Structure 1
């Protein structure tokens, strides 16, 4: 589906959104003083989609940025041939250490406060520092049907939809849940698409992955399976590297809680480096898959890769991205590269893909390859960044969707 080159008025020349969100709130926990934030960037059919994160230091600005990105991710995957009808974007965030003793109570009180949104307008799920299982558990205690209840109510057969959803989340591939793999599969396909377009042979291509949690681990797995040498992986403790390639599968099967690498099981040729050395290790591709804003003005000069493919949400600041572009580094934005997880949730719920691994991964691969290709072609024709191109494509697709729904 091709888009017009018309730049939407909601996007400024620097690619940032100038339109205010449709709803936002800041909440202060009366017990601990921790703050929580909800931003509904926009509603489509009265619905919005986006995860709920919890991390110490989370800010309103961060949540606003993420919510705007979710609107783009939703619109990018509008396909009239699918049953899935995209929603608007939203995001929730809580400034609290998710591993602290008080975290669950803070989460429960935050969700109780924003219950009307979760019950009627905001379909949510896991994000950094949370799990879907925990959110579902807390919502059940509050009497809410579940984190995707607003969307399920719009479907013709809610019971069948919930059954598909449960079946899909019960699938695992070699001991790793399918729900964890689909996002990394999409990011890896974005990497492979970029390399294939530029004629970089897979056997000689190298990649570094910053972060070894669900998204980073799955991305490393699919890259290694495709023949890419993953030569550096970082976790909170540092970077493990090997120019000849790391044993990704073994590292995954002995990965600790929160994505930690078991350094007692490394190969004899593996080397230990500082955490930020993952950025400067010489590779074709860098995949930031840790937290937001890890690549910024102060450290962007260390990035040695030809391509940065964003697996985390907003891992590169706008200023850093400008400098990377000036140096000739191509950044494939999060709204494209890591959008497979969000789309897979809704493809499964709406019935566009069967719950099994083969069908799910095939649809993610096909969709991401087409989307990355279109984004890069648009960027080349319009002489803009891939991020700006993605936002323009999303705007055009959203207009088509709203016209179909009669919401223009």
Structure 2
């Protein structure tokens, strides 16, 4: 493919695609009045994948954007030589504080309402405010055979696939589950790829990670292992900074629930700052790894990093991204940078990787390096954003998939 001759449609139009989703519903809980949302952006072979989030203030439009992004993530990892056949994208969301006493009941009633989709079309899992274990527990109470039931029933040997899946989720590396590590490994590889591409030395590079939960914590670990100085980490309580570099492994060992830093164990040179100060810390790379819409038009001017690598979903708004690009900041989009987690699930289930750390992390690193390299090259040649380039690549790969499968 001669990418220099290609101009992604989104770049020509100057905006994002507005194709309507294939299914969209809003549910109101009869007990609490809380709302839940399901958006199936597109079905491929009758299937779509995407997590279920729960947070106070979750809205339908947010879920719709996330579902559209999942369609891109799925298609980007289509490999005609592999067993994994990508699906369409979907997303669920519930407007409720996941720590509230009513959360589990709301979750159960929402899943009961959308049960036909869970049994036939939508393969889901954890997202912000939920865990795969909790969702599977509730689904079991409802008589649904787990988060991945719609995909498993399409496989030739469902029993073997489920065993690979459960074996992979049981693996731990230094006390952290493999399912948590693969996401951060992919994000870190995206960071390393963009630095290597621009000739930035790893040993002199610095990074700030916003969020210290599953994705942020594992990203910080892999960046630290690669020799990059992590000079700032934020959690819900604030930002911890040290220009000489933070003791990432020690912080991970003593990390508290929900990604909270144990401030009683910080080093003598570590400095405590406000939570939003992570945006303005001097660093080469900013990794937003917590909530959506963290960087927006009203605070993007605080960002000093040369690169933003999105570990969270939708952490940079479209308006902020345009302004950042205009002043030379490269944004590696979530649909690329954090896509390793989603792809790994299906690589394991389909048998493209063994259910162990060595095979899984090697596959994630190779796939993310190739994908980031191709995305940035197309963006450069087509004079568009990396996000627009990723959407174009996804459309092209989906067309090939559909032509081969007849779906």
Task: Give TM class, smaller chain.
Answer: over 0.9
Aligned residue number for residue 204 of structure 2: 204
For residues 314 and 17 of structure 1, the distance between their equivalents in structure 2, rounded to whole angstroms, comes to 16
8 Å contact from structure 2 (residues 50, 70) kept in 1? yes
CA deviation string 1:4-33 (max 9, x = no partner): 955566887234121000000000000000
List structure 1 runs of 4+ shifted beyond 4 angstroms. Answer: 1-12
Could you say which residue in structure 2 is the equivalent of 1:130?
130
What do the CA deviations read for 1:342-379 (whole angstroms, capped 9, x no partner)? 00000000000000001100000000000000000000
For 1:2 and 1:91, the matched residues in 2 are separated by 34
- Are residues 1:84 and 2:65 paired? no
TM superposition shift of 1:406: 1.3
TM score, norm. by length of structure 1:
0.98
Specify the SS of the correspondent of 1:25: strand
CA distance in structure 2 between the partners assigned to 1:251 and 1:3 by the alignment:
43
Whole-angstrom CA distance in 1 between matches of 2:214 and 2:285: 19
- Provide the residue aligned with 1:272 in structure 2: 272
Distance 1:94 1:17 in 2: 25
Query: Which residue of the partner structure matches residue 242 of structure 1?
Result: 242
**Equivalent position of 2:173 in the other structure:** 173
Contact 2:3 2:381 in 1 (8 A): no
Aligned to 1:286: 286
Residue equivalent to 1:121? 121
Q: Distance in 2 between matches of 1:379 and 1:19?
A: 22
Distance in structure 1 (CA, Å) of the matches to 2:76 and 2:205 = 28
Corresponding residue for 1:311? 311
SS of residue paired to 2:39:
strand
1:3 and 1:397 in contact (8 A); partners too:
no
- Describe the shift of the 1:160–1:74 C-alpha distance in structure 2 as closer, same or farther (beyond 3 A): same
Between the aligned partners of 1:5 and 1:39, the Cα distance in structure 2 is 34
Q: Unpaired runs of 5+ in structure 1?
A: none
Question: Contact 1:8–1:395 (CA<8 Å) still a contact in 2?
Answer: no
Q: Are residue 334 (structure 1) and residue 334 (structure 2) matched?
A: yes
Which residue of structure 1 lines up, in the alignment, with residue 227 of structure 2? Answer: 227
The equivalent of 2:38 in structure 1 is 38
Q: Report the Cα distance in structure 2 between the residues aligned to 1:8 and 1:49, rounded to whole angstroms.
A: 25
Alignment partner of 1:296 is 2:296: yes
Q: What is the TM-score when the length of structure 2 is the normalising length?
A: 0.98
Tell me the equivalent position of 1:185.
185
Distance 1:32 1:241 in 2: 41
Q: Provide, for residues 26-60 of structure 1, a one-character-per-residue CA deviation record: whole Å limited to 9, x for no partner.
A: 00000000000000000000000000000000000
Report the Cα distance in structure 1 between the residues aligned to 2:116 and 2:270, rounded to whole angstroms.
Answer: 51
Question: What SS does the corresponding residue of 2:13 show, helix, strand or coil?
Answer: coil
- Give deviations 1:145-200, integer Å, cap 9, x for gaps: 11100000000000000000000000000000000000000000000000000000
Q: Which residue of 1 aligns with 2:112?
A: 112
| Counterpart for residue 161 of structure 1 | 161
Distance change (3 Å), C-alpha of 1:43 and 1:12: farther
Q: Distance in 2 between matches of 1:125 and 1:2?
A: 37
The answer for the alignment partner of 1:386 in structure 2 is: 386
**1:255 maps to which residue?**
255
Alpha carbons 1:6, 1:392 under 8 Å: kept = no
Alpha-carbon deviations, 1:255-292, whole Å to 9, x = none?
Answer: 01110000000000000111111000000000000100
Write out per-residue CA displacement over residues 241-261 of structure 1, whole angstroms, 9 at most, x where no aligned residue: 000000000000100111000
The 2-side partners of 1:42 and 1:117 are apart by 13
Aligned equivalents of 2:192, 2:14: Cα separation in 1? 28
Shift of 1:133: 0.5
CA offsets 1:58-100 (integer angstroms, 9 cap, x no match): 0000000000000000000000011000000000000000000
The 1-side partners of 2:255 and 2:190 are apart by 24
CA distance in 1, matches of 2:320, 2:216: 21
SS at match of 2:328: coil
Q: Is the 8 A contact 1:337 1:372 kept in 2?
A: yes
State how far apart, in whole Å, the 1-side matches of 2:319 and 2:9 are. Answer: 22
- Other structure's SS at 1:203 match: coil
RMSD: 1.2
List gaps (5 residues or longer) in structure 2. Answer: none
**Which residue is equivalent to 2:20?**
20
2:29 counterpart of 1:29? yes
Aligned to 1:350: 350
Measured in 2, the distance between the counterparts of 1:8 and 1:322 equals: 17
